[in-house]
Amino acid sequence: MRAGAIQTTAGPDRQDNLDAAAALVDEAAAGGAELVVLPEYFSVAGSPSYLREHAETLDGPTVAWGSEQAARHRIHLVAGSFPERRTGTGPDDQRLFNTSCLIGPDGAVAAVYRKIHLFDVDLPGTAFRESATMAAGDALTVAPLLPASSAGRPPTVVGLSLCYDLRFPEPYRIMALEGATVLVVPAAFTSATGPAHWELLLRARAVENQVFVIGAGQVGALPPGMPACHGHTMIVDPWGTVLAELVGPGPGVALADLDRDRLRQVRADLPVLAHRRPEAYRWPDDKLRGTVGPGG
C-alpha cells in the first residue's frame, strides 16, 4: 500500500482550506497513494471562539468534503481533525471534541477518533490550553484497511491518534497489540517543541511497536489563537527508517510504500512484541507516584 502524508498551512477560511487540501489530495492520489493522511485542524483553525463558531457535527462540511475526496479517488482518507460540536445540553457539552475520521474508498466513515490527550502547556514561547475548548475523548480507535494476504503478509490495520497523543506511548502499544500495523498522527506540532521532539517521537513509536507511522503536520503560521507549527511531515517504517519527509516551510505531499513484507521481516528478526512479559508488569497506582516500593 502506498501512503501519502499531506502538509498544510491552514488559513482563516474553511473553504479555502478545503480547496487547498483537495489539490494536495489530488497530488497524492496521482502519485499512487491508497491511504492519504491530512493534518490536525486542516479545515478549521483559529482561536477558541473561532473554533466554537465554526464547529461541525459528523455530517458537516469537513466530513462531507472528505467523503467526496475518498470516493472520487477510491482511497482511504484520514480527515486530519476538525472541531466537532457535541450534541448534549449539559455544562460540559459546551466544549468540543477534536475529532479525526477515517473515510473509506466508498465515501463512508469507517472510524471516528476523538483526541484523548489535550495540549495544556505553558512553555517559553508557547502557552496553550486545549482543554478550555476541547473535551477529551475516552476510547482508542483501530480499523482494518487490508486483509492478510495468501503469501503470509500481515493485514493492514490503522490506529488513529492526534498530535499531543504522540507523547504517550501507552495508546500506541495497545493499538499495536490490537493489530494496528500503521499508526497515523495528524498534528499541529508547535515550532517550539517540534525541532527537539517530533521526529524523535515518531521514530520511537515506530520502533517500539514495529509499525509504520505517518505524521502529517501543519507548518508555519496558523490563524491567531494557535501556535506556529513545525511541519516536517514524515513516514517512518517499523525499523525507524524515514521513508519520506517534507523539510521545507510550505505545504506538500510525502509519499512512501508501506511494505507488508518489510513489517513481517522486522517482527521476525527482532520479535519484540512476542518477547513481552505482561505477567511481570505491574501498573503503578498514580496516587503513589514518586514513592519507592519493595526492592527499591
pLDDT of 91: 59
pLDDT of 164: 98
pLDDT of 287: 78
Residue 257 confidence (pLDDT) above 60? yes
What average pLDDT does this structure show over 85-105?
85
What does the mean pLDDT of the chain come to?
Answer: 94
Domain spans in the chain, listed from the N-terminal domain onward: 2-288
The angle formed by the CA atoms of residues 44, 107 and 25, to the nearest 5 degrees, is 55
At 208, list the grid cell. 517500539
pLDDT of 56: 97
Strands 97-103 and 109-114: antiparallel
Taking the C-alpha atoms of residue 118 and residue 163, their distance in angstroms, rounded to an integer, is 9
Strand-pairing partners, residue 157, are 144
- Of all helices (H) and strands (E), which one includes residue 243? strand 242-245
Q: How many CB atoms lie within 10 A of CB 103?
A: 24
Taking the C-alpha atoms of residue 136 and residue 118, their distance in angstroms, rounded to an integer, is 7
Summarised one tens digit per residue, pLDDT across range 178-235 is 999 999 999 999 999 999 999 999 999 999 999 999 999 999 999 999 999 999 999 9
Sign of the CA dihedral with 24 first, then 26, 30, and 34 last = positive
Instruction: Single out the residue of 41, 72, 76 nearest to residue 56, CA to CA.
Output: 41
Among all residues, which ones are annotated catalytic?
40, 115, 163
What average pLDDT does this structure show over 94-114?
97
What average pLDDT does this structure show over 240-246?
98
Residue 296 confidence (pLDDT) above 50? no
Taking the C-alpha atoms of residue 70 and residue 92, their distance in angstroms, rounded to an integer, is 33
Summarised one tens digit per residue, pLDDT across range 262-295 is 999 999 999 999 999 999 999 888 877 765 554 4
Q: What is the DSSP letter of 176?
A: H
pLDDT of 211: 98
Region class of 78: left (phi > 0), else alpha (psi between -120 and 50), else beta = beta
Sign of the CA dihedral with 238 first, then 243, 245, and 251 last = negative
Taking the C-alpha atoms of residue 222 and residue 217, their distance in angstroms, rounded to an integer, is 12
At 143, list the grid cell. 480499523
Show Cβ contacts of residue 259 under 8 Å, excluding neighbours closer than 6 positions: 237
Taking the C-alpha atoms of residue 131 and residue 12, their distance in angstroms, rounded to an integer, is 21
Greatest mean pLDDT among 52-66, 119-133, 150-164: 52-66
Taking the C-alpha atoms of residue 191 and residue 220, their distance in angstroms, rounded to an integer, is 8
In the CATH scheme, what is the code of domain 2-288? 3.60.110.10
Summarised one tens digit per residue, pLDDT across range 118-153 is 999 998 877 889 999 999 999 999 999 988 877 778
pLDDT of 291: 54
